[in-house]
Amino acid sequence: MENSLKGLMLAAGIIITCIIISLGFYIAREARDTASEGTGQINQLQAEFTDASKTMYDGTEVSGSEVLNVIRKFSDETMGILVQTNKNKTYYNYNFDVDKGELGKALDNSYKNAQDVASDKYINPTARFQGSIVKDVNGTIIGIVFAQV
């Protein structure tokens, strides 16, 4: 009788140990999946915050001085800025195709040309501009368009 009781206790201990180990593996797998999902969400939020500095100009009316600030602010990024004044239109940083959403070649147009009153590329700081963004087929912002209103 004593041997059978010891055998039953040993079997119960083995079963309980297997259940605990199985629960441990289940919890570890769930934690890994949750962490992976959280990482994906964090990456998505980071991409949205990165683009927020550009998307804020979409559909917004800004002054010419703000357009000059945008040209200077994004001068080191791989994107273009198109400024359409009543006189002409000028690309800064890169040219791009608004309709196709394709980024072109790098340009030499400098911020100083936009400030020179004698230049035909002059941007009047008090003028009003309507902003819009241009994206490529992947949804990446490749340009900002400012049209004088």
- Same domain for 35 and 16: yes
Backbone phi, psi, residue 105, to 5°: -90, 160
For residue 13, give its domain range.
1-55
Per-residue pLDDT tens over the stretch 54-71: 888 989 999 999 999 999
For residues 71 and 123, membership in a common domain is answered with: yes
pLDDT digits (tens, 9 = 90+) for 11-66: 899 999 999 999 999 999 998 888 888 888 888 777 777 778 888 898 999 999 99
Domains: count for the chain: 2
Task: Tell me: do 62 and 131 sit in the same domain.
Answer: yes
Residues 71, 42 within the same domain: no
Q: What is the pLDDT of residue 1?
A: 64
Q: Are residues 77 and 121 in the same domain?
A: yes
Question: What residues does 91 pair with on adjacent strands?
Answer: 82
Residues 88, 101, single domain; the answer is yes
Q: Which of 13, 34, 55 is the last residue of a domain?
A: 55
Q: Is 96 within 8 Å of 82 (Cβ atoms)?
A: yes
Token look-up 């769930």 returns 30
Q: Does residue 67 share a domain with residue 46? A: no
In this structure, are 75 and 32 located in the same domain?
Answer: no
DSSP per-residue letters across 90-144: EEESEEEETTTTEEEEE----HHHHH-TTSTT---TTSEEEEEEEE-TTS-EEEE
Task: List pLDDT tens digits, range 79-137.
Answer: 899 999 988 888 998 888 888 888 888 887 667 778 888 888 889 999 999 999 998 88
| pTM strictly above 0.85 | no
* 67 in the same domain as 39: no
